[in-house]
Amino acid sequence: MEAEKWGRRIRAFRKLKGYTQEGLANSLGVSVSILGEVERGNRVPTEQFVEQIAAKLEVSVDDLTPPDVRAEKK
């Protein structure tokens, strides 16, 4: 369930910033299948991967973090 929340947020911000899945994956240096697994909720992204995505999309890690996960960290 947690993976799905991460995936939905990452996908939403990727689309908002105008990236295709292939374009973002290439710019991050990962395969499209890895990014796809994260977006579909089949893989929980590592903290480092979230930081890389946030930097590339020019958003904060907090923006990408699902609200309930953010609440758990406090």
Distance (Å, whole) CA 21 – CA 47: 19
Distance CA(64)–CA(74), nearest Å, equals 16
pLDDT tens by residue, 39-65:
999 999 999 999 999 999 999 999 999
Q: Please, what are the domains in the chain?
A: 2-73 (1.10.260.40)
> 14 Cβ partners below 8 Å, 6+ apart?
21, 24, 39, 53, 57
For 9-39, what is each residue's pLDDT tens digit?
A: 999 999 999 999 999 999 999 999 999 999 9
pLDDT for 42 equals 95
